[in-house]
Structure 1
């Protein structure tokens, strides 16, 4: 979930104090004008201007209160005696905030909580499946020495980046949620916002969650850049005639793990110096672009590489099957290749970047479900494409499986003296082990037959090659 549109309690207090200062300046200016009867005042949430006797005053709901409905209005009544209408039973000035509190109604809060809980379950399941499949894929590629090459090394780095991204998200969710104070904010009545005071905070208690947030942003960035490295590698294989992949491996590693560390550390330093509030998990003005701009640049560059790769792929398909070939089959082949490249290059990122970030509406909910689904399950999809559907991997697994079956078949045969003749007594197969049993049994019979005729003297011509002894 994009947390850039969420506000902490400290940020809310700061905005209220800022609005209060501005309101006091406006009140001083209005008092000098001397127009109206009910005096302007700050009630803790809204700066009320002068009111006219016997009229209802409507003021837009303040934009600086995050949970308010910013399209609604609040009301106050200026009584006939020239003062704001006062409610004796509540001992306070009457005001109608019902439109402003639209989003704070219990049924709306409950529906929003169910929506975010549903998103949390979905991406938790997705990242868990991705982590498991990537772990198995790394074990498979690492186990078979024939698969050790630069291409698969890059795949393994990409797998690790997906795994670390998943782990960092799980840790951030647990650590940050413990320090956010979300429950106390939800339980806070709207009226209490008027009496909020700035309390000194012990910043040392947020060190752990700050580290968790910085770690999450770093591994998130490395994941984007390893996807870029995959795109660069594939693009180089296609467009560079003599490309030495082993020569550029360390360069790719520097791009994938080193470059993100530079701008993430720069962001952490700027955040600590300028806006050192709580866990650093939320918006901090323009500072966020220190790490978001490089990520967007990686997504944009990867999209360009994707378009160029698809262009070359389409040209090759049409040139290869230009004459006497089914056009629909060519389109199906191109569509299948393009779909794989979309998942490999992470093209869905550019789609979600271009979509508007609005908080309300069914379109936004659909967008959030789709974005988090693809983000969380992308590791699983990549492992299937690069490992489980890879022909070389399948060949190595089949070869190992065949060897294991032969070994088990040999060990299961029954010993017969110094020979394993169990397969001869039961059945004959075309396996290598069964053939060896036949040879061993034949030798055993020949040696027995030779011991019976031991008294017969051998003739010299019987040792000649090609001689066949007669039984007569």
Structure 2
């Protein structure tokens, strides 16, 4: 589901869902009789609904279609003028011209608010904002794809190396799994929209929308329920990350007790209860809306959003406390004020992605009624932070992690050792002293390990290998 504050093209989701032609509409009402004498408006297809023949000077109505952003319990109206022409149509128009239909009565209250804010300025500005919103989908697809790849690599590393299986990385693994589920669901939904609509951020041509998740009842809603569960689980594991870090740094005990049952119940169990309650309320009160479109603008969404905001506020408190403790410890070690400030800021920047505090920006309402430039900055910034979050978490807490680098360097060392021993047995000219002069230091230095492997494989050593042979 698009961000709650992302602008929506009022025609988005109101085209391409119903497949009919003007000829089909004429055939459908071929036998319909007009009882009142005088002129009448012919049956017509307005690209959304088929309207029956209507007596001149009257107004006809139908149930609003079951489409995105539309409440099907409301009525849509179409006026037949006394001249026998549909309102908005002239004598010079083609017979297929349908005139004007008042679909504004069909929009949900949430959709009306978005449209009112979006079109508070000029028509040109509104179109620019819609274009910006569509372009951010490309940014999202790029960020989500990169995040998914790096998350999978990080999970493989954390599960593969036995030395990394500790309490801290156990929490990391669960957080990464929740992120993977969320990213996968988002990518599936976005790619499905691309396929069914024929392009990124585009609406399918009239009558040509292909069947997909986006327009399949129950399946679409189920995907969004799974998405919200994964998001809630991600927030809860972020809370556990902050709680564990705060406990580990604040208490005097070196290794705080790991409460497995509490953590797993909080990280995976609580989101099930929260999501189930939200899904029931939304289904009962918003179930008539196609795919619960714009559900994140309803009051029921606070069932999920409220606890998420509370989690972020707690993580802010954890972060402040962690920085205070770090600064206090650095003062005790007689470090300079500048070094203290630098390290405190560095700690904050490193902790921000993991604790999810950057999600606060994503919950700020979009400046739909502000200038195009302000909206562009907000839109690109929020979508960049949200879609690349998995990448930043993987980078900071896996790829740049000292324990991870040490585990990888040890693996390279073991590989180089076996290759060196094999080459020595085959009489390659290398001395066994190589193991102590090159491979052994490489155990703690990944870059040196790579150089060592290069020296083992080549007969004529490169300049980097000079001095490594005895």
Q: For the pair shown, which has the larger CA radius of gyration, 1 or 2?
A: 1
Aligned to 2:341: 331
Residues 352-391 of structure 1 aligned to structure 2 (within 5 Å): 352-354=362-364, 357-358=367-368, 360-361=370-371, 362-391=373-402
Preserved CA contact (<8 Å) 2:147 2:388: yes
Higher relative contact order (CA 8 A, sep 6+): 2
The separation in 2 between residues aligned to 1:355 and 1:205, in whole angstroms, is 29
What is the TM-score of this pair, normalised by structure 2?
0.63
The separation in 2 between residues aligned to 1:382 and 1:404, in whole angstroms, is 29
The separation in 2 between residues aligned to 1:70 and 1:121, in whole angstroms, is 22
Which of 271, 280, 293 in structure 2 is aligned with 1:281? 293
What is the TM-score of this pair, normalised by structure 1?
0.63
Aligned to 1:2: 3
The separation in 1 between residues aligned to 2:216 and 2:350, in whole angstroms, is 46
1:153 Cα deviation after fit: 0.7
1:346 Cα deviation after fit: 2.2
* Higher relative helix content: 1
Which of 157, 169, 188 in structure 1 is aligned with 2:186? 169
Q: Where does the alignment leave 5 or more consecutive residues of structure 2 unmatched?
A: 15-65, 78-99, 106-110, 208-213, 438-470
1:219-268 deviation digits (Å, cap 9, x = unpaired): 11111111111001101112334486554122111111111111111111
Give the number of equivalent residue pairs.
342
Preserved CA contact (<8 Å) 1:168 1:212: yes
Which of 431, 436, 457 in structure 1 is aligned with 2:434? 431
Aligned to 1:305: 318
The RMSD of aligned alpha carbons is: 3.7
Preserved CA contact (<8 Å) 1:138 1:159: yes
Residues 78-97 of structure 1 aligned to structure 2 (within 5 Å): none
1:209 Cα deviation after fit: 0.6
Which of 360, 368, 385 in structure 2 is aligned with 1:350? 360
Asked whether 1:320 is paired with 2:323, we answer: no
Judged with a 3 Å threshold, the aligned counterparts in structure 2 of structure 1 residues 206 and 184 are, in CA distance, closer, same or farther, namely: same
The separation in 2 between residues aligned to 1:412 and 1:46, in whole angstroms, is 79
Asked whether 1:397 is paired with 2:408, we answer: yes
Asked whether 1:409 is paired with 2:420, we answer: yes
Q: Helix, strand or coil: the match of 1:206?
A: coil
Judged with a 3 Å threshold, the aligned counterparts in structure 2 of structure 1 residues 2 and 71 are, in CA distance, closer, same or farther, namely: closer
Residues 453-472 of structure 1 aligned to structure 2 (within 5 Å): none
Q: Helix, strand or coil: the match of 2:403?
A: helix
1:344-377 deviation digits (Å, cap 9, x = unpaired): 3222223443566535422122112111111122
Judged with a 3 Å threshold, the aligned counterparts in structure 2 of structure 1 residues 165 and 142 are, in CA distance, closer, same or farther, namely: same
